[in-house]
Amino acid sequence: MNPAYESMRPAIESIPQRFEQEGEVVYKGRNLIKVMELEGRQVNVKRYHVPSLLNRVVYSFLRKPKGRRAFEYPQRLLQKGFETPEPIAYLEERRGGLIHYSYFVSVQSAYRRNFYEFAEATPEQYTEVAIAFARHTARLHEAGILHRDYSPGNILFDRIDGTYHFTLVDINRMKFGKIGLEEGCANFARLWGPIAFFELIAREYARGRQADEAYCTQQVLACRKKFWTRFAKRHYISFKLEL
């Protein structure tokens, strides 16, 4: 429990009993995410699916569960000046001593825009955001922080007083430490958008890390093509993507 929200403990502890009946669904897949109102405050609640039997043992005794990491990692970003929704609590349900459902509770972000909107965007729509985002990512990597699931839905943003602000969500998969240039360039691979969008990001990212722009552009485009080609083969799908 985040000590700043200790007064909400009774309401937080009631989430497992209330989760199915209350709240607005914002994502439904293997995991379920809802926005719930607790004591007059909107909170984001992510319920993680019940792991396989082997992983139930692993996450119960050998490794921190995803929700626990999602609760602990935000403090490391916030301490370094990067935005992510403030964590409130982490809850576990256990059966037979093994983890069952687990829940991560955080402040609901006010930002409503994400990077899915750039799938077929024009330069007029993406240029300012792409430049700001590339510089933000360069600062993030220089600070030794890498989001391993840097996908369109996990990067929320908005423009406030003429400045773009970015906040990262779903941060249970992170790397903390030195981030090499190649690793940093590969971090953009999961994003959507036209080739020119990635070329602009690559150039600005290179400038932010004082690296060669041509080399970064080649790396970003190559990693993007590799990721989406393998993704299509793995899922037996075809889609329109400028590779």
**What digits encode the pLDDT tens for the residues 110-169?**
998 999 999 989 999 999 999 999 999 999 999 999 999 999 999 999 999 999 999 999
The answer to whether 220 and 208 are in contact (CB under 8 A) is no
CA–chain centroid gap for 113, Å, is 13
Given this model, what pLDDT does residue 242 score?
A: 64
pLDDT surpasses 90 at 233: no
pLDDT band at 241 (very low <50, low <70, confident <90, very high): low
191-220 average pLDDT score: 97
CATH of domain 3-107: 3.30.200
Give the C-alpha separation, 103 to 19, whole Å. 10
What the block records as the tokens of 174 is 């992170």
Given this model, what pLDDT does residue 38 score?
A: 95
Give the C-alpha separation, 181 to 197, whole Å. 19
Given this model, what pLDDT does residue 94 score?
A: 96
pLDDT surpasses 90 at 45: yes
Q: Which of 74, 75, 85 shows the shortest CA–CA distance to 109?
A: 85
Number of other residues whose CB lies within 10 A of the CB of residue 82: 17
Given this model, what pLDDT does residue 111 score?
A: 93
The dihedral region occupied by 103, where left means phi > 0, alpha psi between -120 and 50, and beta the remainder, is beta
What the block records as the tokens of 241 is 């993507």
What the block records as the tokens of 216 is 């970064």
pLDDT surpasses 60 at 240: no
User: How deeply is 138 buried, as exposed, middle or buried, from its count of CB atoms within 10 A (0-12, 13-18, 19+)?
Assistant: buried
Give the C-alpha separation, 122 to 189, whole Å. 19
Given this model, what pLDDT does residue 232 score?
A: 81
Please name every residue paired with 95 in a beta bridge, in sequence order, or none if there are none.
Answer: 98
Domains of the chain: which residue ranges? 3-107, 113-235
CATH of domain 113-235: 1.10.510
Give the C-alpha separation, 87 to 124, whole Å. 35
What share of the chain has pLDDT > 70, as a percent? 96
Q: Could you read off the pLDDT of 59-93 as tens digits, one per residue? A: 999 999 999 999 999 999 999 999 999 999 999 99
Given this model, what pLDDT does residue 230 score?
A: 87
What the block records as the tokens of 106 is 């955080």
The answer to whether 201 and 132 are in contact (CB under 8 A) is no
Given this model, what pLDDT does residue 112 score?
A: 87
- Mean residue pLDDT of the chain comes to 94
Is residue 145 classed as helix, strand or coil in its secondary structure? strand
The answer to whether 152 and 190 are in contact (CB under 8 A) is yes
Walk across the sheet containing 155-160 and list its strands: 113-114, 155-160, 163-168
160-185 average pLDDT score: 96
